[in-house]
Structure formats: C-alpha cells, structure tokens
Amino acid sequence: MIMDELEFMDVPLVDMVDMWQLLLRFAFNTLVTWCIIHFLYYPKSRRRDYYFTFMLISVSVFFLIFLLGGVKLKIGFALGLFAIFGIIRYRTESMPVREMTYLFVLIALSVINALAVTLSYAELVVTNLIFIVFIRVSEDNRWISHVSCKLVLYDRIDLVLPSRRAELVGDLQRRTGLTVVRVEVGAMDFLHDTAMLRVYYAADGEDTNTVDQLMKLPKTTE
C-alpha cells in the first residue's frame, strides 16, 4: 500500500499491519478488563474511584508494554511494575487487599495481552478466560462462605479472659448487632481499660465493607 511506503525521517508514517495488531489487542484487553471490573469487582464494592483507577492503569500498562522496544526491556519493565505495586501494598493501608489483588490481576492481564505477540489469538483468549473463570468462582459465595472481620477498640477489658469468651461474644453481638463467629484479642491497655479486638462475623449480603479495618477518620484536604 502507498501509505505503508511513506516515511518521515526514516520512520514509517503508517504501518497498517502493526496498527491493526495494536488496535485489535487493545480492544481485546479493554474488553476483558471492563468485564472483570464491571461484572466481577464493581457489583460487590460499588467503588467508582477504583473502577476509574483500574481502567486507566490497565490502559496505561498495556500501551507502555506494547510500545516499548525489545522483549527483554518489556519483561524487565513488567517485573518492575509488580515490584512497585508490591511495595505500595505493604507500605500503605489506603488500598484494601481485595482491590490490590484486582490491581495485580489487571496488570498481569495487560502485560500478557501486550507482550505475548508470539501466541495465537486463540491461546490469548483462553488465557484471559481462565483468569475470568477463576475470579468468578472465587467471588461466588456458594463455593466459599464469606466471613468479614472488623477491628474493635473494646472498653470492657474484664471480658477478654479466655474463661469469659462466651460473655465477650454475647456482649459484642448485643452492641454491634452482628453475628459474631469468633474473636481474637490483640493489644491490651490496662491504663485505660481497653483492648483491641479482631471480630469475625457472618456478612449478611454480598457487598464488601471497605472500612472494616478503619480505626480513625481519614484526613480530608480542603
């Protein structure tokens, strides 16, 4: 084609083969990402901020990996992304574990869809479908019973004794209205008669509580 022969400073103006491959892989990656976020992640969390974040990160990672030159450079960059987000995960409490897991999955899929240029499209589709099926099965409460946990700063330190565990559970159920499954006792402050408890309870619905582990009000910026 004539367009393929046009160059500017020894760089082709249009490479239709590479262009179609880029658009096809990008459309496929975006479709898979959107299906995972919209149908698997969002119905439980209802977090529009993470919906936006996941989509943009997936697009950014895909183009960065696809457009970088050299397979070794692409692999090194991909591993670097996982290392960066791994550090973020263990040095901050702002992103819950579930959201961070979805972030890792979406980064992995974006890297695979951009980097696996030697795979056939059938293999690529099967790989992405396996991810989707595993996520769907893991999110299904029929296979795995969902138990949530909540951090509680407890004021009746006399009930944390192992011999009074039934009274502790009963008091927590009465004051919180939750169906308490078990309780773990953490740090105890005898000066202020308080103890830190991790309370495991049966969740009523399928929605995920994103502030269960929150111990204080987040700072707001004006």
Helical H runs in the chain? Answer: 2-5, 16-35, 42-45, 48-67, 71-91, 97-115, 121-139, 165-176
Rounded distance, CA 4 to CA 26, Å? 21
Q: What are phi and psi of 221, to 5 degrees?
A: -100, 135
Tokens coding 201: 């309870």
Q: What is the pLDDT of residue 203?
A: 76
Q: What is the pLDDT of residue 99?
A: 87
User: 128, 181 in Cβ contact below 8 A?
Assistant: no
pTM of the model: 0.74
The structural domains of the chain, with segments of one domain joined by +, span: 2-139, 147-202
Parts of the chain with a pLDDT under 70: 1-14, 69-75, 77-79, 81-94, 204-222
Q: What is the pLDDT of residue 222?
A: 41
Tokens coding 113: 């869809």
Distances (CA, A) of 108 to 94, 101, 102: 21, 11, 10
Q: What is the pLDDT of residue 141?
A: 74
